[in-house]
Amino acid sequence: MNKTTGRQVSAEAQALPGRAGDIFQLLRDGRARTRAELAGITGLARSTVATRIDALISSGLVGPAGEATSSGGRPPSRFAFNPAARVVLAVDVGATHVALAVTDLGGSVLAERRVDQQVADGPEKVLGLVVREAAKLLASASRGVADLAGVGIGLPGPVEHDTGRPVKPPIMPGWDGFDVVRFVQRSLPVPVLVDNDVNIMALGERTAHWPDQDNFIFVKVATGIGAGIISSGQLQRGANGTAGDLGHVRVPRGDHVLCRCGNHGCLEALASGPAIAAGLRSEGLEAATGADVVSLVAHGNQQAVQALRQAGRDVGDVLATVVNLLNPSVIVIGGSIGESGEHLVAGVREVVYRRSLPLATSQLRIGLSHAGDKAAILGASQLVTQHVLSPAVIEATLAGNAMAG
């Protein structure tokens, strides 16, 4: 820890009220620190820091991490965040699958499973599967429900974040307004957080691979098209949770194409997996799904390659406006179609760099997802830990432990 001046300590102390939950935030980076170091950072008395650390140790969230070098006398003890204290159930519900994982509080995957399941089968069937698989995964990770800190769920449609209820999702019949949180909590009585799948993919990708980028956009190109927007370090959901719905932005060349939303010319009607497949079928190729498109591209079919490149240009048409409006430093392309190779990304770059303002693109990076199909799981885990490890929730947890004790 670098030494700080009295003025610096005062400023940090003002920003850090000194509750145990606030001190815990300093330890979340995994670096071990002594009580004296924490007292120096916060400006609190060592006795106050010691009391806070003792409470965190009792909760299991903080543990001993060896001893620091002594300058004379007994070496001081160091303490660090213990991510193994609790676990998280992370769930990614897709159009045709459910992926689940048990992670520790640091996001490391301890056990995972992927199951074929149609989201159109309805919430009771899909969430019933989630609950059953959760018990199996916890057991395989040698953990129980008592160890569960929370459940994070990503859904392939708009979600009212405050309630976790889907809002008129186009590919999820029977889900509109369904109380996902209450259904899951009947079996798993812990905090349950629900968000749109592309939002949690943005969280997962950024946390794992771009932690220093505060202005970041994740674009999912699959059965649908959407974006997770992180601006000034915060995920932007908008007033009703529909921020980032790129799929229903109009693309000029698609005026004659009817979208499932009822409008003409939507990006999703031209550049999604099913839309690209439909275009290739009209050219005489066998392509029923987006997966077929990916397979054709992998085998070097030039019609498929060109169709994917044009889809990238269409996505770029919309993203050029987004770049001028939000000025991100990184745009990551993911999803089953987005991850199919550089052809789609090349089309995106071609249009974005041509049509966006030079200053907005001077340091802009556009590339493929590094997290791949793990992005949603990592993000669902992050969604939970951001909540359960926040200062306010840590304080409430410690207060509850003290009353129980």
By the 8 A CB rule, do 366 and 348 touch? yes
pLDDT of residue 331: 98
**Model confidence, pTM:** 0.88
Q: Which of 55, 54, 30 lies closest to 105, judged by CA? A: 30
Residues contacting residue 147 through CB under 8 Å, at least 6 positions apart: 86, 87, 138
Intrachain domains 6-81 and 202-375 with the same fold: no
List the beta bridge partners of residue 216. 230, 330
φ/ψ of 206, rounded to 5, equals: -65, -45
Task: Given CATH 1.10.10.10, say whether it is the number of domain 6-81.
Answer: yes
DSSP helix/strand/coil, 151: strand
By the 8 A CB rule, do 166 and 175 touch? yes
By the 8 A CB rule, do 328 and 364 touch? yes
Strands 159-160 and 87-93: unpaired
Q: Which of 279, 266, 288 lies closest to 309, judged by CA? A: 279
Alpha-carbon gap, residue 217 to 262, rounded angstroms: 27
Please give the C-alpha separations between residue 93 and each of 98, 136, 152, 282, in angstroms, as whole numbers.
Answer: 5, 17, 11, 31
Alpha-carbon gap, residue 265 to 277, rounded angstroms: 17
Return the DSSP state at 241. Answer: S
Can you list the alpha helix ranges (DSSP code H) found in 86-217?
123-140, 180-185, 197-209
Task: Given CATH 3.30.420.40, say whether it is the number of domain 86-201+380-388.
Answer: yes
Tokens of 8: 């610096």
> Counting Cβ atoms within 10 Å, is residue 213 exposed (0-12), middle (13-18) or buried (19+)?
middle
pLDDT of residue 8: 36
Alpha-carbon gap, residue 241 to 160, rounded angstroms: 5
By the 8 A CB rule, do 89 and 102 touch? yes
CATH fold of the domain at 202-375: Nucleotidyltransferase; domain 5 (3.30.420)
Tokens 């019949």, residue located: 173
pLDDT 10s digit of each residue in the chain, 405 long? 333 333 333 333 344 456 899 999 999 988 899 999 999 988 889 999 999 999 999 999 999 987 665 555 566 789 999 999 999 999 999 988 999 999 999 999 999 999 999 999 999 999 999 999 999 999 999 999 999 999 999 999 899 988 999 998 888 999 999 999 999 999 999 999 999 999 999 999 999 999 999 999 999 999 889 999 999 999 999 888 889 999 999 998 888 999 988 899 999 999 999 999 999 999 999 999 999 999 999 999 999 999 999 999 999 999 999 999 999 999 999 998 988 878 999 999 999 999 999 999 999 999 999 999 899 999 999 999 999 999 999 999 888 877 776
DSSP helix/strand/coil, 369: coil
* H or E stretch at 373: none
Q: What is the DSSP code string of 40-104?
A: HHH---HHHHHHHHHHHHHHTSEEEEEEPPPSSSSPPEEEEE-GGGSEEEEEEE-SSEEEEEEEE
Where do the structural domains in the chain lie, given as residue ranges? 6-81, 86-201+380-388, 202-375
**274 backbone φψ class: left, alpha, beta (φ>0; ψ -120 to 50):** alpha
Q: Residue 244 carries which side chain, given as an amino acid letter? A: G
Residues contacting residue 229 through CB under 8 Å, at least 6 positions apart: 202, 217, 235, 236, 243, 244, 326
Tokens of 338: 């987005």
By the 8 A CB rule, do 98 and 137 touch? no
Tokens of 123: 């919430």
